[in-house]
Amino acid sequence: MRSPRTKSINTPLSFEQKRRLVRLAGFLSAVLACGLAYAGLCTALGFALPCLFFTATGLQCPGCGVTRMCLSLLRLDFGAAWRYNPGLLALAPALAVLAFLTARQYVRIGTLTPTRFANALTVFCIVWLLVWGVWRNIV
């Protein structure tokens, strides 16, 4: 016998859950469209927005190279993507898990309040990015 907390994988979504799922799909579609439009502009113009942190300090932030990394990923050139920002590319699976957990929490109960695991994963990602940001400027 299943515990009361366990839900069957085939349990249908409620009307509210379906509504949240549609809202989430719309948001993700808009983010994807903006990202692809920016990638298209960068490719067509050969110009991307400069990093303000790098411009002001001469140091690379943890996100420096992310535009070139994403453009390389769109071309399926994983080697180039790794060269542009290996710290963030290595962190991508953890960020994907965090995004999935947040989306699932939102669809299921309608809140963005993170679970204990999501909080721990967020702290890990922040520490990783801080260490990566320091490391890439030292080496």
59-78 residue pLDDT tens: 999 999 999 999 999 999 99
pLDDT of 7: 55
pLDDT of 10-35, one tens digit each? 778 899 999 999 999 999 999 999 99
* Rounded (10°) CA dihedral 104, 108, 109, 111: 20
List CB contacts of 100: < 8 A, sequence separation 6 or more: none
Mean pLDDT over the full length of the chain: 91
Dist CA 47 CA 43 (whole Å): 7
List CB contacts of 73: < 8 A, sequence separation 6 or more: 81
pLDDT of 99-139, one tens digit each? 999 999 999 999 988 899 999 999 999 999 999 999 999 98
Residue among 6, 11, 28 nearest 106 (CA):
28
pTM of the model: 0.80
